Amino acid sequence: MKKIYCISGLGADEKAFAKIKLPGYELGFIQWLTPGKNESIEAYATRMSKSIKEENPILMGLSFGGIMCIEIAKLLPVKKLILISSVPAYKQIPLWMRTAGKLRLNKVLPIRSASTLLEPVQNYHIGAATAEEKEIVRQYRKMVSPVYLHWAINAILNWKNEWHPASLYHIHGDADRIFPIKNVKPDHIIKGGTHFMIFTKAREISEKLALVLQ
């Protein structure tokens, strides 16, 4: 079977791809690592890339995982790079995020302390609507390491990439509130797809992926 190396969203694990069905393909997962103090996103990507054992791999990244796939693709040639609910360049990140990074607001404002109070707001922006979806997101919140979370948020807010490989294919939802559709230029738009569409629109995404991978 052909292998696809997957990187999940911020703090999530391989369960994020549980509903994606691609007959003839094996989904392999690159796990998040504990970041070193002041580790650059480039250095972190280098460490993640050590998990890839094949030449010209297929990479698939969800949200922040897509950003990491871009960074890994700078280090080694890839057959195809697929982004889901992500962005290929920093200028497609919402202005408020880039401004927060420039002002270093993530360094002075607490990230985790108010997370319980902010759950409804976070669920709204992610697109978790049902009780099952909200519970999945809640478990991810409990699971994520504070050290990793602070590093990852800083990495996203201060990402400066403008490059992407020619083999990139981008799938995005028109109801994504994290990376709004007005800021991105995807190859395929999922109608009604939120930032959580990897779960809510898994069948449609799977069908599109099957065509892209032919």
CA distances to 4, 50, 52, 153, 169 from 55, in Å: 12, 12, 8, 30, 19
CA distances to 42, 57, 61, 67, 152 from 39, in Å: 8, 25, 21, 16, 10
53-79 confidence digits (pLDDT tens): 999 999 999 999 999 999 999 999 999
**Strand 25-29 to 80-84 pairing:** unpaired
Task: Round to the nearest angstrom and report the end-to-end CA distance of the chain.
Answer: 14
How many domains are contained in the chain? 1
Residue 147 structural domain: 2-212
The helix or strand, by DSSP H or E, that contains position 168, with its residue range, turns out to be strand 168-173
Can you list the residues of the chain whose pLDDT is less than 70?
Answer: 100-118
In whole angstroms, give the CA distance from residue 181 to residue 151.
Answer: 26
| pLDDT computed for residue 113 by the predictor | 42
CATH number of the CATH domain containing 142: 3.40.50.1820
In 2-42 the beta strands, taken as DSSP E runs, fall at 2-7, 25-29
Nearest to 33 by CA among 46, 20, 19: 46
With a threshold of 0.85, does the pTM exceed it?
yes
- CA 95, 97, 102, 105 dihedral sign is positive
| pLDDT computed for residue 47 by the predictor | 98
Dihedral, CA of residue 66, residue 73, residue 164 and residue 175, to nearest 10: -10
Q: What angle in degrees, to the nearest 10, is found between the helix axes of 41-49 and 146-157?
A: 120
Structure tokens at 182: 């007005």
Structure tokens at 50: 């050590």
In whole angstroms, give the CA distance from residue 174 to residue 180.
Answer: 7
| pLDDT computed for residue 101 by the predictor | 63
Nearest to 152 by CA among 3, 4, 7, 2: 7
Sequence-ordered list of residues with C-beta below 8 angstroms from that of 98, at least 6 positions apart, any chain: 90, 157
In whole angstroms, give the CA distance from residue 114 to residue 56.
Answer: 43
